[in-house]
Structure 1
């Protein structure tokens, strides 16, 4: 099993500092401090032998929450300073981007740093920045049909990215995007003879009209494509059918098992005989300490605080429901400690000494019985911890996991690096 560190980019300040320095997200000194710390975490993860490092795309968080608008740009710097770790945007929210530009940017990175790129693609949910970037007020709104529209755009855009990677020239006439634009072609191309002689097949017709586009460069290798989900069966089915790696948020043991089974069964129905857990990963939070209470307190100060303060406002704790919760009301917990306890009990958060966490990891690695997982994604929220000792705590968390937990789950049957061979259409 490979381990990817998924790191937040929150500015680590106390609530009073956040208020007195508002808007702290635009404080250049605070952002510089966050960025230096973030880069340190990536370098530590590489030095300790972690397989991957990722970050969440977010925009406009003046309040000082997650502040990484372009992780791929930062990864170019970090890849030059590290040895082996794979960098993985977690995730690129496709409905808010031009899919052709996404395909180009990712392909270029594979040439700059061969074998060092993976990528997760997601549909997105935050209206403030998605609607602004996409210039579409229905893409994540709460009116009927919004979810279907979002999925429709996501599916179309991802198909364009994969076409751009595999085909020397292609044409796409979709509901939400056209390649080239307009779909009828670009007339009177001045270099028609040049393109017909040296360009891709059928890019320009005999009348000088551009009919197809070829994206340059072609990827040196196909990036590992991750698709995160917490519940949606259709997302799981699409990922399995298209040979994309499924990342399952560990909201409950039963849900993880059922999603992994659906992925395996769908893959088998489409000609891939997978074991349970193959082609899949689980996303969970990990906190380590000399005692369970020490680790739990760290979890409360970081993941618990952020989940209770920010994420539950978007309904992201609905997967933590128990039978005692009112089914007619959105789940809302006012106490970060109680929410942290709920995350621990569900399996979303692993907490305790190295031995205690390793025991919980054994359950996850086995996909809660009878399986063997390919990936574990550590949602590393320790960066949100304010104080001068925070970097020491972060480094020790990574070091302890790498030395005392990670070796127990290494799978020698799989390489820890992505193939750097040239990407062919058949892959």
Structure 2
């Protein structure tokens, strides 16, 4: 099993966050950068597979201050040797797919093939509807509404453009929203066709290509967090993308994994083992003292989840199949529903043993809160995990 540390990242301690405006405190931001640096360097030494950052904007509150995960990846990549660096995820409908394809290719080269990438659709209306103006699309509510359908269409469109740019020397692409290159662009430079290609006999631009191409062939591993729907799992299976499951009900997880295996084989990817090319997302924190671990986890995910994620609908991932009524997002619910892999090394081993026996995921994505959970607590947790838990599941 491959372990990925996923940082929001949070800016500010538990008390600083509760006072407000933690995200615009410069000292808090510098502290966050120092903490993720030290934790990533330790993760590199201990043998974690990778570290990832999210994409969100306008987080003056401090909960998910990660405007540009690729920049954070490069920052960490320059301080580590083996650790893979990636995004969970770039929000495709609100990105220029050409620029994004270039940036990821550059990151892959600068880290010498240690990059991975993630793609998502965007659910936070505050920033998605602001940044989406130029793309005439808004946040997804995963509700099959007109806006949701437009978001999905733009997501797929941008993904297809990125794939072509990564895998073809030069391209001419016509989609609903993009013409690459535009018509009637004259660039009569002899050097273009003398040393490359793309111009016709009249000097008109007919094809363009990005440079460099990714270091990894054909491109870095691709993930889609956090996938809930059968439609998303079928898309990921067809495209060879790793979906990250956030649900906690084993029946639902198994159904999604069945869909993934079925669609992957039907799409020509061969017969995958159970859990192959699939990840599961959990909050992970270890201590020698279980009560201490739960104390810090409750001030971390137990504070951030009900304050930020629950109100925008993420509590639905804790719903059991056939269950009706409202679902809470307080720490007791997170713990009871199996989202918290928290406690002593023995406790966490039992959680993982159950998960592996039921689902056998290739990846485990560890939720990280680099402010509410003190730095020394996180560092010790990583060490305990990689020395007393991970060796059992390689």
Question: Given the two structures, how large is their TM-score scaled by the length of structure 1?
Answer: 0.85
Taking structure 1 as reference, are residues 324 and 274 closer, same or farther at Cα in structure 2, changes over 3 Å only? closer
Q: How much has 1:405 moved relative to structure 2?
A: 0.5
Q: Which residue of 1 aligns with 2:366?
A: 378
Secondary structure of 2:271's counterpart equals coil
Checking the alignment, whether the CA contact within 8 Å between 1:250 and 1:346 is kept in structure 2 is: no
Cα distance in structure 2, aligned partners of 1:29 and 1:53: 23
Cα distance in structure 2, aligned partners of 1:170 and 1:153: 19
Q: How much has 1:3 moved relative to structure 2?
A: 0.7
Taking structure 1 as reference, are residues 14 and 219 closer, same or farther at Cα in structure 2, changes over 3 Å only? closer
In the TM superposition, 1:20-419 aligns within 5 A as: 22-135=20-133, 138-140=137-139, 144-180=145-181, 182=182, 185-191=183-189, 193-200=190-197, 203-221=198-216, 222-271=219-268, 272-321=270-319, 327=325, 331-332=327-328, 339-366=330-357, 368=358, 372-381=360-369, 383-385=370-372, 390-410=374-394
Which runs of 5 or more residues in structure 1 are unaligned?
Answer: 334-338, 411-427
Q: Which residue of 2 aligns with 1:8?
A: 8
Checking the alignment, whether the CA contact within 8 Å between 1:252 and 1:320 is kept in structure 2 is: yes
Q: Which residue of 2 aligns with 1:419?
A: none
Checking the alignment, whether the CA contact within 8 Å between 1:253 and 1:346 is kept in structure 2 is: no
Cα distance in structure 2, aligned partners of 1:188 and 1:322: 59
Q: Deviations over 1:397-416 (max 9, x none)?
A: 10000100111111xxxxxx
Q: Which stretch shifts more, 289-298 or 246-255?
A: 289-298
Checking the alignment, whether the CA contact within 8 Å between 2:23 and 2:59 is kept in structure 1 is: yes
Secondary structure of 1:152's counterpart equals helix
Taking structure 1 as reference, are residues 190 and 55 closer, same or farther at Cα in structure 2, changes over 3 Å only? same
Checking the alignment, whether the CA contact within 8 Å between 1:4 and 1:378 is kept in structure 2 is: yes
Q: How much has 1:285 moved relative to structure 2?
A: 1.0
Checking the alignment, whether the CA contact within 8 Å between 1:252 and 1:348 is kept in structure 2 is: no
Cα distance in structure 2, aligned partners of 1:323 and 1:89: 30
When the two chains are superposed, the root-mean-square deviation of aligned CA atoms in Å is 2.1
Q: How much has 1:323 moved relative to structure 2?
A: 8.2
Cα distance in structure 1, aligned partners of 2:76 and 2:363: 22
Secondary structure of 2:300's counterpart equals helix
Checking the alignment, whether the CA contact within 8 Å between 1:42 and 1:53 is kept in structure 2 is: yes
Which runs of 5 or more residues in structure 2 are unaligned?
Answer: none
Cα distance in structure 2, aligned partners of 1:61 and 1:137: 23
Secondary structure of 2:171's counterpart equals coil
Checking the alignment, whether the CA contact within 8 Å between 1:230 and 1:251 is kept in structure 2 is: no
Checking the alignment, whether the CA contact within 8 Å between 1:229 and 1:236 is kept in structure 2 is: no
Taking structure 1 as reference, are residues 393 and 240 closer, same or farther at Cα in structure 2, changes over 3 Å only? same
